[in-house]
Amino acid sequence: MSFEGHLFLALLEGTVTGFVLALTALGLSLVFGVMRIVNVAHGEFFMLGAVIAWYFSTMPGGFLPALVAAPLLVGGVAFLADRLVLRRIEYKPESTIVATIGLLYIIQQLVLTVYGPYARPVAAPVYFRIDFPWFGYSGYKLVVAGVSAALLVATWLVLSRTTLGLYMRATQQDREMAQAFGVSVHRVYALVFSLGAALAAIAGALVVPVQQAHYLMGLDALLMSFIVVIIGGLGSLGGTLAAAFLIGMSDGLVSVFFSPTLAKIVATLLVALVLVLRTGGLFGEEGT
Amino acid sequence: MRRTRARAVWALHLAILLLLLGLQFVVPPFHQIMLARIMALAVYAIGYNVLLGYAGLMSLGHAMFFASGMYATGLTILHFGFGAGAAFGLGVLAGAIMATAIGLVTLRASGVSFLIVTMMFSQAFYLATLYFNEITMGDQGFIISGRLQPLVAGGREFPFSDPAVKYNLALVVFALSLMLSVWLTRSPIGRVLVAVRENEERTRLLGYNTSSYKLLALIVSGSLAGASGSIYTLMFSYVGSSFASILFSIYPLLWALLGGTGTTLGPLLGTALMTYVVDIASGLTSSYLLVVGATLVILIMWFPAGVMGGIRARWVRWLP
Amino acid sequence: MEHVSEGTRVASEKISRRAAIKAAGALVGAGIVGGVGGFSPAASVSRAAAQPARTPIKIGFQVHRTGIGAVYGRWYERTATAAATLINEMGGIAGRPIQLVPEDDGTDPKRGAEVVEKLAVHHKVDFIYGTLFSHVVIASAPRAGELKIPYFVVSEGYHVASGKLNRYVFQPGITDVRAQITGISSWVVKTLGKKITMIFPDYAFGYDHRDFLGRAVPALGGTIQARLAIPPTETSFSKYFARVPADTEVLYHVMVGPGVLTFVKEMGEHFGARRPQIFGFIDSLEGVDLASPGLEYLEGTHFWEAFPRYAGGYPTPHERFYRDRVGVNDAGASLRDPKDVSTYSHMFGCWETLFVIKQAVEQSGYRDPTPKDYRALIETLEEVQWFNEGIQHPQGPKKFVGQIHQSFGQQFISKVENRRLKVVHRTKIEDSLYPPEADYRKQPL
C-alpha cells in the first residue's frame, strides 16, 4: 500500500482511538480532579460496561439498551463503593489506592466466576464497510467516534452549564470554599465517582463490538486513561481531549515509520518526556 | 529518653531478625521457602518505602529497578559465568545506576506526575526487554540454575538449590536492608527526607538542596530494589519480562501501603500478609481473588495508615 | 487444605457460581462458602468406588485457573478430572486410587514456581503436571528439578525438547510447536501457495513460528515474503494488514489472546473479497465459537488442529468415548452449555498424560516418592518408544523420543465450511519428526 494510504489509515485510526480514549479517560480525570484520588479500579468499570453490553447483546432487546443500562448499573456499583468504603477512609489518597486495588480484585474475580474467562465478541448494532481507495474500513468505528464526541460535548455542557457542574468545578478549585458556600462535598464526591464510572462503562460498551469482552481488558484501559489524564492535566476536559488525540495519533503515526514494538517504546518515551518538561501536563495546573 | 528509645528500636529490630533466624529450624519446609521468598521480596518493599514513606514520592515504575537487578545478575551468570557474589554486586549497581538515570530526568516532576513518569519509563523498559529478546529471551525468559556455581566459604560448598542456603542468604540481605532503613530514618539524612515529604518548599527555604536529597532517596530505593531482584534470581533461577511489567510495580506499592509506609517494619509485614493471604485463600476456594480483595478493603478500612501504622498510632507509639 | 477434585466437577463449579452471585452482599463470606462448597458429596462416591485400603497416588495439578490462560485452565481441569475418574473406575494406578491436587498458578511465572513448591513440599504429591503457558513452564521447571520431582508438561512449547530444561521434565501427552510446523508446512506450500506472509505475536510463541516455518518453507521451494511481528499490547491490527505484500499467496497467522476476534474482523475489513489464502493455528480460536459474529470472514480459510473440534473429523470409537466422557458435544462445546466452547486441540494432552503416568508407574514399579523410585520411573519412561492409540490416547498414536522427553503425533488441517471445521488433511507422524538437539539421559538425576 502506498505511503499516503498508510498515512490516511494512521490518521483515521488515530481519530477513532483519540475519541474513545478521551471518553474512557474522562471519568478518571474528573475523579482525579475533583476528589484528588487515584481510582485503580477505573479500568474495571470499563470492563464491566463491556461485559454488560455482551449480556444485553444475547438477550432479545439487543445491544442498544446496554448503552443506557451499563452506565446506570456500573454507576450504581461505584456509588456503593463510595458509600461503603471510600467515605469511611475519608478519601485519603494512599488508603484509596489500596482500597481500589482490593475493589479491582473483587470485580475481576466476580466477572471471572460469573461471566467466565472467555473473550466473547459482540455484534455491532450497525455494520457497514467503507471502501477507501487503498483499504476497507469499519463503518461502526466511525459511529463510535461520533457517539463518543457527542458524549464528550454532553459532559462539557453538564460541567459548564448545570448547577452540578458548577458544584463540581467549585469543589475542584477549592474544597473548603465550596463547603463554606453550602456545597455538600460528600454528595458531590459520590456523584462524581459514579459519573466517572458511568462514563468508563459507556466507553466500554461502545468499544466492545470493535474489540471483545474479556475479564482482563480493564488493565489496558486503566493504563491508557492514566496517561491521558496526566498529560492532559487533572480535571481538564479540554486537556483530556487534547492528550487523548496526541496519544492516539502518535501511536499510529510513529508506527508508520518504525517497527511496532519500537514504535511503542518511542511513543512511551515521548509521553514521559512531555511530562517531564511540562510538569503540570498540557493544560493542568502547574506543580500538581 | 532519646537514648533509651534508640536502644528499644534497635533491640526490637534485632529481636525480629533473631526470630527470623530461628524460625527456619522450627517451621515446616514449605513455610521455610515461603519465608525465604517473603524476605527477598520484603527488600523490594523496604526499598520502595524509603522513597514513599520517607521522601513522600510515589513511584509506579519500581519494577524497572527490580528487573535491572534481575537481568544484570542473570545475564552475567548465564553468559559470562560470573560468580554469585559478583553478580549480586552488579545487580545492586544496576539498580543504582538505573535509579540515578531516571532520577536525573524525572525528579523535576512530583506528585501524580512523578507517578506517571516513572510508570512510563518502566513501561518503556518492559517493552525494551521484549524488543531485545535475543539477549533477554523476552517474556519466555531464561534460567540460570545450570550455570550458577555454589557459594564457597570456609572450604565448604553451599549450593543454591539447598533450601537452607536460600533462606539464610535472603535473611542476610533482608537484615542489611532493614538495618539500613532503620539507620536512615534515624539519621540526619532521614530527617531531612521527612521534612521534604512534609513540606518541600519550606525545607528548600531552610537552605537544603531538596533535589539532591530526593535523588539520594531514589538511588537508595533503586539499589534495594535491584538487590531484591538479584537475590530473587539467585534463589529461584528464573529471569523474565513479567518481572518488569506494571503489575510488578504495583506489588511493592501494595505491600508498603498495607504494611504501613513511614514505618520500618511495615514493608515486611505487608509483604508477608499479602503472600499468606493469597496462599491461604487459594487453598480455600478457587475464587480466591475475591477473598484477597475483600481482605484488602477491610484491612485498609481498619488501618488507613497501614497495619503497622495503625499499631503505632494506637498502641506502640515509639515504633520507627 | 487439599481440593478433592475427582468426581463431578459440575457440582463444585455450580456451587462456586452461586456463591459468587450471593457475594454481592457478603464478599468474604461468599469466598469461604465457595471453598467449603467445593467438597461435593459426589467426590466421596468416587473414592468409595476405588480400591480400599491403598494409599492414593497424589498428582499435583498446576492449573491456570485465573490470568490470561484461564480458558485453557478451565478445560484442562475438566479433562484431567474426567481422566482421573476413569482411571479410578479402571482400578486406579497399580491398584491405588489417583487423587488430583489442583493449585492455581494465575498463568504467572512467579506464582508457577511457588505452586511447584507448594505441591511438592506442602502437599507432598508424587508428581506434578498440567502447565501450559511457556513462560510459566520455564519458570517452574527449575524448581521441579531442584526438588527432584517429575514434572509433566502439557504445553506444546518447544522448550522441553530443546534440552534447556532438566531431566525431571517430560512432555509425553502433546506434540510441540516445532513438530507441528514441520508436519504441516509441506501441505501449505504445495496446496496453498509458495509466497507466504507471516503475522505473529512479537514474543516467544510467535518467534517459534517465525523460526521454524522460516526454516521449513525455503527448503520446500517457497519464500517468506514478510514477517509482521505484532507487539503484545496491540489492540488494533489494520495497520499491519496494510503491510502485507500485494502478491502474497498465503497469509499465515498465529495471533493469540483476546484480541484475535478484533484481528479477524479487521482482516475482513481490510482485504474484503480480494484476499490471499489464509492459514492459521486453532490456538487463535480455542474456546471461541466459530459461528461468532465477526468471524464470518474465516469462511474458506484453513486451520491447523491437533485434534479436530467437530465430531467426524477423526471418527474413531476412542475419540467418541473420550468426547462423551469429557462432556463435549459434536460441535466441540460443553454438553451442559453449548456456548462454552472447549480447547479441544490442547486439553487432550491432560488426558493422555495421566495415562502415561499410569503406564510409567505400573511399568517401573514405582511405589513412593523416593529418589530410587523416581529414577526407576524416569529411566523406564525414557525407554518407551510408542504410545498406542486407544481410549488412553484418543488423539492418535504417539512416537516417544526418550532422549528429548517429547512425543510426536499426527496433525490435522481443517477448512472452515459453513461455519464449521472440516478436516482436509492428516499428517503422518514421520512428517513432523526433526533431529533431536539434546539428550536428557546424559544428565545426572
Q: Give the position of cell 505441591.
A: C119
Supply the pLDDT for residue C20. 40
Decide if C223 contacts A172 (C-beta within 8 A).
no
C214-246 burial, b if ≥16 CB within 10 A, otherwise e?
eebbeeeebebbbbbbbbbbbbbbbbbbbebee
Which phi and psi angles does C312 have, rounded to 5°? 105, -15
Residue C36 has pLDDT above 50, yes or no: no
Domain-embedded: residue B272: no
CA C334, CA C341: separation in Å to the nearest integer?
6
Provide the pLDDT for residue C19. 40
Q: Which domain holds residue B70?
A: 2-244
Distances (CA, A) of C382 to C172, C402, C418: 10, 4, 44
Contact residues, chain C, for B291 at CB < 8 Å: 28, 31-32
Q: Does C142 lie at the interface with B, CB-CB under 8 angstroms?
A: yes
List the CATH number of the domain containing B207: 1.10.3470
Please give the single-letter amino acid code of residue B122: S
C231/A261 CB distance under 8 A? yes
Write the CB contacts of A253 (distance below 8 Å, at least 6 apart in sequence): A7, A10, A11, A14
Most confident option among B204-213, C21-30, C67-76: C67-76
pLDDT band with cut points at 50, 70 and 90 for residue B206:
confident
Residue B51 lies in a domain: yes
* Chain B residues touching A106 at Cβ < 8 A: 289-290, 293-294, 297
Residue range B196-214: average pLDDT?
83
Confidence category of residue C37, pLDDT binned at 50, 70, 90: very low
Q: Is B290 within a domain?
A: no
Q: Is the pLDDT of residue C134 over 80?
A: yes
Q: How confident is the model at residue A235, as a pLDDT? A: 67
- Characterize B214-233 residue by residue with b for buried, 16 or more Cβ atoms within 10 angstroms of its Cβ, and e for exposed: bbbbbbbbbbbbbbbbbbbb
Please report which confidence band the pLDDT of residue C262 belongs to, taking 50, 70 and 90 as the band edges.
Answer: confident
Nearest to A67 by CA among A23, A1, A10, A119: A23
Checking if the pLDDT of C382 tops 50, the result is yes
pLDDT at C266 over 60: yes
CB C353 within 8 A of CB C129: yes
Chain centroid to Cα C30, Å, comes to 32
Q: How far apart are CA B224 and CA C268, in angstroms?
A: 51
3-state secondary structure labels for all residues of chain B: CHHHHHHHHHHHHHHHHHHHHHHHHHCCHHHHHHHHHHHHHHHHHHHHHHHHHHCCCCCCCCHHHHHHHHHHHHHHHHHHCCCHHHHHHHHHHHHHHHHHHHHHHHCCCCCHHHHHHHHHHHHHHHHHHHHCHHHHCCCCCEECCCCCCCEEECCEEECCCCHHHHHHHHHHHHHHHHHHHHHHHHCHHHHHHHHHHHCHHHHHHCCCCHHHHHHHHHHHHHHHHHHHHHHHHHHHCEECHHHHCHHHHHHHHHHHHHHCCCCCCHHHHHHHHHHHHHHHHHHHCCCHHHHHHHHHHHHHHHCCCCHHHHHHHHCCCCCC
Q: Does residue C8 surpass a pLDDT of 60?
A: no
Which of B282, B299, B301, B302 is the best substitution to test chain C (most C C-beta atoms within 10 A)?
Answer: B282
pLDDT value of residue C414: 96
pLDDT on residue C258:
78
B33 in contact with chain C, both atoms CB, cutoff 8 A? yes
| B104 and A CB contact within 8 Å | no
Alpha carbon distances (Å) from C217 to C191, C211, C220, C405: 13, 10, 5, 26
- Which amino acid is located at B173 in the chain? V
Helices (runs of H) and strands (runs of E) counted in chain A: 11, 2
C368, burial (CB in 10 Å: exposed 0-12, middle 13-18, buried 19+): exposed
Q: Tell me whether A117 touches chain C (CB under 8 Å).
A: yes
Residue B297 lies in a domain: no
Q: Note which residues in 131-160 of chain A have CB less than 8 A from chain C.
A: 131, 134-138
Q: What is the pLDDT of residue C3?
A: 39
- Chain C residue closest to B237 (CA)? C142
CA distance C253 to chain B (A): 20
The answer to whether residues C310 and C421 touch, using CB atoms and an 8 Å cutoff, is yes
**CB-based contact, A68 to chain C, within 8 Å:** no
Taking contacts as CB-CB distances below 8 angstroms, the residues of chain B near A272 are 106, 116-117, 120-121, 124
pLDDT at A257: 66
Domain coordinates in residue numbering, chain A: 3-277
Q: Is residue B294 part of a domain?
A: no
Chain A contact probe: residue of B297, B299, B303 with most A CBs at under 10 A: B297
Q: Which residues of A touch C77 (CB under 8 A)?
A: none
C269–A136: do the CB atoms touch at under 8 Å? yes
Residue C31 has pLDDT above 80, yes or no: no
The pLDDT, as a whole number, for residue A160 is 85
The tally of domains found in chain B comes to 1
pLDDT tier, C375 (very low <50, low <70, confident <90, very high otherwise): very high
- In the predicted model, what is the mean pLDDT of residues A245-254? 77
Report the pLDDT value the prediction gives residue A279, as an integer from 0 to 100: 54
pLDDT at B170: 94
Question: Which chain A residue has the Cα nearest residue B304?
Answer: A95
* Per-residue pLDDT, C4: 37
Closest Cα in chain C, distance from residue B58 (Å):
24
Q: What is the pLDDT of residue C160?
A: 93
Q: What is the pLDDT of chain B when averaged over all its residues?
A: 88
Comparing B112-116, B169-173, C113-117, C169-173, the range with the smallest average pLDDT is: B112-116
ipTM score assigned to the predicted complex: 0.86
Percent of chain C's residues with pLDDT above 70 = 88
A17 to chain C: closest CA residue: C236
pLDDT in tens, A201-215: 999 999 888 878 899
Residue B282 lies in a domain: no
pLDDT of residue C17: 44
Pick the CATH number of A3-277 from 1.10.287, 1.10.3720, 1.10.150, 1.10.3470: 1.10.3470
**Hey, which residues 209-228 in chain A have their CB within 8 Å of chain C?**
210-212, 214-217, 220
Q: Is C416 left (phi over 0), alpha (psi -120 to 50) or beta?
A: beta
A284 φ/ψ sector (left φ>0, alpha ψ -120 to 50, else beta): beta
- Is the pLDDT at C35 greater than 60? The verdict is no
- Which pLDDT score is estimated for A51? 95
What is the pLDDT, as a whole number, of residue C52?
45
Q: Is B23 on the interface with A (CB under 8 A)?
A: no
Local confidence band at A62 (pLDDT 50, 70, 90 cut-offs)? confident
Average pLDDT over residues C318-328: 95
* pLDDT value of residue C43: 40
Cβ atoms of B94 and B71 closer than 8 Å: yes
Residue A232, pLDDT > 90, answer no
How far away is chain A from the Cα of B102, in angstroms, using its nearest Cα?
Answer: 11
- pLDDT on residue B302: 85
- The pLDDT value given to residue A255: 65
The answer as to whether B312 is a domain residue is no
**Which residues on chain B are in Cβ contact (under 8 Å) with A101?**
250, 254, 293, 296
pLDDT, one tens digit per residue, over C184-238 is 999 999 999 999 999 998 877 888 899 999 999 999 999 999 999 887 767 778 8
Q: What is the sign, positive or negative, of the torsion defined by CA atoms of B116, B120, B125, B130?
A: positive
Question: A73 in helix, strand or coil?
Answer: helix
At residue C304, the 3 state secondary structure works out as: strand
A106 touching chain C per CB within 8 A: yes
C65 and B279: CB-CB below 8 Å? no
Asked if the model's pLDDT at residue A147 lies above 80, the reply is yes
Name residue C195's beta-bridge partners: C223
- What residue of A is the nearest CA neighbor of C267? A136
- The pLDDT of C18-30, averaged and rounded, is 39
pLDDT of C32 reads 34
Model confidence at C118: pLDDT above 60: yes
Contact A227 B108 (CB under 8 A): no
Between A and B, how many CB-CB pairs are < 8 A? 126
* Confidence band of A258 (pLDDT split at 50, 70, 90): low
Of the candidates C146, C191, C183, C201, the residue with the CA atom closest to the CA atom of residue C168:
C146
Residues of B in contact with A279 (CB under 8 A): 108-110, 113
* φ/ψ of residue C398, rounded to 5: -130, 135
Distance from CA of C182 to the nearest CA of A (A): 28
Range from A49-63, A225-239, C139-153 that averages highest in pLDDT: C139-153
Percent share of chain B, pLDDT over 90 = 40
Contact state of B287 with A265 under an 8 Å Cβ cutoff: no
Tell me the percentage of chain B whose pLDDT exceeds 70. 96
Q: Per the domain annotation, does B48 fall within a domain? A: yes
The CA distance from B76 to B200, in Å, is 41
Pairing outcome for strands C386-387 and C398-401: antiparallel
Per-residue pLDDT reduced to its tens digit, B170-199: 999 999 999 999 998 888 888 888 888 888
Question: Which of C:87-106 have CB within 8 Å of B?
Answer: 103-104
